[in-house]
Amino acid sequence: MRMQFWRDAVEGIYGDNPPHQPVATELWKAVKRHNLTKMWFMKIIDEREKNLDDRAYRNIQELETYAENTQSALLYLILETLGVRDIHADHAASHIGKAQGIVTCLRATPYHCTRRKVFLPMDICMLHGVSQEDFIRGKQEKNVRDVIYDIASQAHIHLEHARSFSKKVPVKAYPAFFCTVALDDYLYNMRKVDFNIFHPSLQKKSTLLPLHLYIRSWKKTY
């Protein structure tokens, strides 16, 4: 019902008849002001709806598809609000969105395990002989850490791909990509604890994030 509400809301917004709901009203204003693409909103809604069944991703590609249609789609919309319509920026946004989706899945794993749910890609777990129960029990053996290493490495690869476009991406697109600061911070901290997803330090806020964000902004890098 909630997904259908937002599907109807988007249709109403693009028909100049938004529902009387605060977020929908602001979205309508943003759509009018920046000529935002309807398709990205619908992709986000459709992908969230498909993900409501609470099952693990069958493989890393399935997780990347989910991230592309949610996180990357949101970045495409942010680029449009910045007045950026550029193929290189879109390529960077695609990879950053996938990295963000993968990192979000990793970050949420300890919480999901307390609810006896594991969403990590099953193909990587099977490759290392790790069961969902191993994660639910909070095991920290090498094969469990190897699963996390493989998944985290894929996020890192996407960030590197995104940065390979940096010389071609318009500078005014960079504010959309500063989320990479938090992604880098989490992946760095993950390496420090040898990919132990349950290490308490990974659940703490990083006090240096604002400083790192300022430096990236000043250097005009992402």
pLDDT score, position 210: 92
pLDDT score, position 2: 86
pLDDT score, position 106: 98
Tokens coding 200? 């308490």
Q: What is the pLDDT of residues 63-84, one digit of tens each?
A: 999 999 999 999 999 999 999 9
What pTM was computed for the model? 0.94
CB 63 within 8 A of CB 154: no
Segments in the chain below pLDDT 70? none
Give dist(CA 217, CA 80) in Å, integer: 19
Give dist(CA 162, CA 187) in Å, integer: 16
